[in-house]
Chains A and B, each alone.
Chain A
């Protein structure tokens, strides 16, 4: 379990937080927390659920629902920008080497 992911997505751990044993109880029902701001969590396939309490959020994030498609898409664009910046530098160095002003 990545604690930083839980904090990043669900918020800080509440005081005295005790993780309930959900695995052994297939009928466990997550109770909504009126003081908790509803969040959307995604899995690797782009499926999403809305979580209404810290316990629910922590459970999903621990189970692998910590993907952020917006952030992932932005990182892809950043990579393209980076490749563009690097290739412009290479292109300029090649242009300097082989070009001649007429």
Chain B
């Protein structure tokens, strides 16, 4: 009998191509409705005949919509399955065309998970499974069930995103459970059979955010939650953390006696959409299990990290992210598909020129595909730091292609306008070449002077001319300006009282205000304090993880867009309170102290990088950077081992 040998990679590529292209040619090509060009004068065809013309028909008929910047393609997740890939409407807004493409959230669930599962399956399988196969069905089922409960609790969000959403209907519940279960079982099977090797591919987390279109979660939530179901019981290292977290959780639940809603915007996939007891209990459980899963996975697989492979993947991820960022900012159709196939939380930037400056002569922070220019700037800087490490410490010789990617990363950092990340990169360069510098006192002296001069230039020479009394009080002054009379937040009220008393606490806060001025964070942190309205208990224990609903719903301030705190420190003050934040900092410092003999230059630089950027950026609010920074902490605390590899 002849044996038929399949080349599975070839089959995977065929299936991938089919999944990439076929959904968008869904249409009835024999009907009388033919696509027409849309114009300001006539858009009636798509208004009167929604879900009749496929996207491909539209693009073939109107090819200039692919590249002209006044076209915007947007997903309409509240569409029937039959409408998938078809034009569900078109509208004109501010002289720009918005073309709505029908997609069904339930089809997205299957399609996106299928695509990412196939892509991940190209990574070599492990010889030994990370978790035994007998657990796969159990954890898939529990995870699917949990996320259906989460969907049910956030019904206000999902009734706008899932067509004919009816979780009171048993049939609909069963459909949802089975679709999620089958899709997720595929994914978890692929992930867990390659878990050891996948740690070297973590940099691609920045390229593929993995958020499912129409949902407030993504593949990373699913994966680490499912690992956490086992990790919660096996991971003895987190026993004190878990116990303390549960105590805090009890307070958060008892305190959940109001209702607020929150539009997730760019945080979609890693934030709650409302603050109420039913949602809070699920997010408290989710975060506990997710975090345990992440720590369990990293603690078991960190020894498989290959620094050169990891750095090469960082370069590749940075290069592809920048490339698609440039394409998507210039080609509306690429912007549309990037959002879908990379699982972005927010559409890529539409500013075509990454070199542009605003009317005040300031560089515009260009984020490309990523929701935050600051966070992606941090990633580009980290890529370059790792390149410096493998070049100087591991004597790695870069290939021509990799040198091009390094140049890409330098441009990416410049485009993001993240000056703090640039400053730390420069500092890292000096640290890696310090042995060379110490050979000549003149060279060392001139390097230090140049470095200090650059700091002054980056901060801005004119900022040093303001007196301390102004710079330290500017934050409170701005905060009062944001607030309306009679509607001050409790934190601002307290700061105003401190300001009158001029006691020790006020002077400590003044230092904080002084730092915020030079980090260019006065306005954003002032906005935070104008809204931060905790009770005394909430100030101590917080309101619960990854939940902004209460903070943004409590005190109303007249600003149209979502302005995040731009400080992980302040966000975690909100989530975990001063006690929780203090305990986290103490725990972290203790870990550093206990691991001090295992930390080398790279570890030291990573910790400085994390400390500086977490003070002034929101990176830990995005699921990709949250996962990546936890990995970096693992790397930093045992960085000497990397040098031996």
Asked whether, in the complex, the Cβ of B6 is within 8 Å of the Cβ of A89, the reply is: no
For residue A78, CB closer than 8 A to chain B, the reply is: yes
What's the Cα separation between A71 and B164 when bound, in Å?
Answer: 7
9-residue interface stretch from B92-100, B179-187, B434-442: B179-187
Asked whether, in the complex, the Cβ of B7 is within 8 Å of the Cβ of A81, the reply is: no
For residue A102, CB closer than 8 A to chain B, the reply is: yes
Asked whether, in the complex, the Cβ of B164 is within 8 Å of the Cβ of A88, the reply is: no
What's the Cα separation between A40 and B106 when bound, in Å?
Answer: 27
What's the Cα separation between A82 and B107 when bound, in Å?
Answer: 10
Could you write out 24 A-B pairs with CB less than 8 Å apart? A70-B80, A73-B82, A74-B82, A77-B81, A77-B82, A78-B81, A78-B179, A79-B175, A81-B107, A82-B178, A82-B182, A84-B110, A85-B179, A85-B182, A86-B182, A88-B110, A92-B186, A96-B8, A99-B11, A100-B6, A100-B7, A101-B7, A101-B9, A102-B5
For residue A17, CB closer than 8 A to chain B, the reply is: no
Asked whether, in the complex, the Cβ of A102 is within 8 Å of the Cβ of B7, the reply is: yes
CB distance from B181 to the nearest CB of A (A): 9
Asked whether, in the complex, the Cβ of A88 is within 8 Å of the Cβ of B178, the reply is: no
Q: From DSSP, what is the main secondary structure of chain B's interface residues?
A: helix
What 6 pairs across the A-B complex have the smallest Cβ distances? A77-B81, A99-B8, A99-B6, A85-B182, A102-B7, A78-B175
**Interface positions of A (Cβ within 8 A of B):** 70-71, 73-75, 77-82, 84-86, 88-89, 92, 95-96, 98-102
Asked whether, in the complex, the Cβ of B80 is within 8 Å of the Cβ of A74, the reply is: yes
For residue B399, CB closer than 8 A to chain A, the reply is: no
What's the Cα separation between A88 and B7 when bound, in Å?
Answer: 18
Chain B hits for A79, CB < 8 A: 175
Asked whether, in the complex, the Cβ of B110 is within 8 Å of the Cβ of A74, the reply is: no
Asked whether, in the complex, the Cβ of B182 is within 8 Å of the Cβ of A89, the reply is: yes
Asked whether, in the complex, the Cβ of A82 is within 8 Å of the Cβ of B179, the reply is: yes
Contacts A74-B163, A84-B110, A89-B185: A100 and B81 contacting too (C-beta < 8 A)? no
CB distance from B542 to the nearest CB of A (A): 39
Residues of B79-114 contacting chain A, CB below 8 A: 80-82, 106-107, 110, 114
For residue B171, CB closer than 8 A to chain A, the reply is: yes
Asked whether, in the complex, the Cβ of A81 is within 8 Å of the Cβ of B9, the reply is: no
CB distance from A90 to the nearest CB of B (A): 9
Chain B hits for A95, CB < 8 A: 6, 8, 11
Chain B hits for A88, CB < 8 A: 110, 114, 182, 186
Asked whether, in the complex, the Cβ of A85 is within 8 Å of the Cβ of B110, the reply is: yes
What's the Cα separation between A88 and B118 when bound, in Å?
Answer: 11
What's the Cα separation between A38 and B114 when bound, in Å?
Answer: 43
What's the Cα separation between A48 and B163 when bound, in Å?
Answer: 22
CB distance from A100 to the nearest CB of B (A): 5
Known: A78-B179, A89-B182. 7 other contacts (CB 8 A): A73-B80, A81-B81, A92-B186, A92-B189, A96-B8, A98-B6, A101-B8
* From A70, A78, A100, contact of B106 by CB (8 A): A78
CB distance from A33 to the nearest CB of B (A): 26
Asked whether, in the complex, the Cβ of A85 is within 8 Å of the Cβ of B178, the reply is: yes
